């Protein structure tokens, strides 16, 4: 061993000792667990500076091109078929739409809702009148309003009229 390796090793041991002593001061560690703590700190420090292991690229459950069908969409994570994947991704995989797209490198216009389902919902919304703008006051005014009939006082029917009493002196 040359001097550089001895110095590196000594600095590493001093660093491990410093970290472990600080950890033991602030946490309760039994005597049996102390060698484990020292070994884990040493292993963590010895792994610094080394290149990370290459992560294998994930393989989708189905090909991306086959993940969108007219009646359903398929989750690339697990192969789950559904009309909408948003809730499935959040609950089962803990992913939001943006994270899912980033993980599988999907284009921003990739659907997570089945095209047929979207079309049916769109047709239903148009049928009940959603999506139409409100009528504004600046719209073309109506031609001429019809003249209102003159207001006449309403006549009371005979049954509701007050009875007329004649006072008779007999």
Instruction: List the chain domain ranges.
Output: 7-46, 64-115
Q: How much is the pLDDT for 43?
A: 84
> How does residue 8 score in pLDDT terms, banded at 50, 70 and 90?
low
Nearest residue to 100 via CA among 127, 125, 133, 74: 74
Q: Are 17 and 24 contacting, i.e. CB atoms less than 8 angstroms apart?
A: no
> How does residue 106 score in pLDDT terms, banded at 50, 70 and 90?
very high
> How does residue 88 score in pLDDT terms, banded at 50, 70 and 90?
very high
Pairwise CA distance, residues 80 & 65, whole Å: 15
Q: How much is the pLDDT for 161?
A: 60
Pairwise CA distance, residues 123 & 130, whole Å: 10
Q: What is the DSSP letter of 102?
A: H
pTM, two decimals, is 0.49
> How many of the other CB atoms lie within 10 Å of CB of 118?
13
CATH number belonging to domain 64-115? 1.10.10.1550
Percentage of residues in the chain with pLDDT exceeding 90? 51
Give the contacts of 134 (CB within 8 A, at least 6 positions apart). none
> How does residue 62 score in pLDDT terms, banded at 50, 70 and 90?
very high
Query: Radius of gyration over alpha carbons of the chain, in Å?
Result: 40
Q: What is the mean pLDDT of the chain?
A: 83
């Amino acid at each position: 061993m040359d001097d550089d390796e001895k110095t590196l090793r000594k600095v590493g041991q001093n660093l491990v000792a410093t970290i472990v002593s600080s950890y033991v001061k602030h946490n309760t560690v039994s005597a049996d667990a102390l060698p484990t703590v020292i070994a884990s700190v040493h292993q963590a420090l010895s792994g610094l500076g080394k290149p990370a292991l290459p992560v294998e690229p994930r393989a989708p459950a189905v090909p991306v091109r086959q993940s969108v069908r007219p009646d359903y969409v398929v989750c690339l994570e697990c192969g789950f078929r559904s009309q909408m994947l948003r809730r499935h991704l959040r609950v089962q995989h803990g992913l939001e739409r943006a994270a899912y797209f980033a993980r599988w490198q999907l284009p921003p216009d990739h659907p997570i809702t089945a095209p047929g389902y979207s079309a049916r919902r769109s047709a239903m919304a148009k049928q009940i009148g959603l999506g139409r703008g409100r009528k504004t006051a600046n719209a073309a005014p109506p031609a001429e309003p019809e003249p209102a009939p003159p207001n006449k006082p309403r006549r009371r029917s005979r049954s509701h009229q007050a009875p007329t009493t004649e006072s008779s002196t007999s």
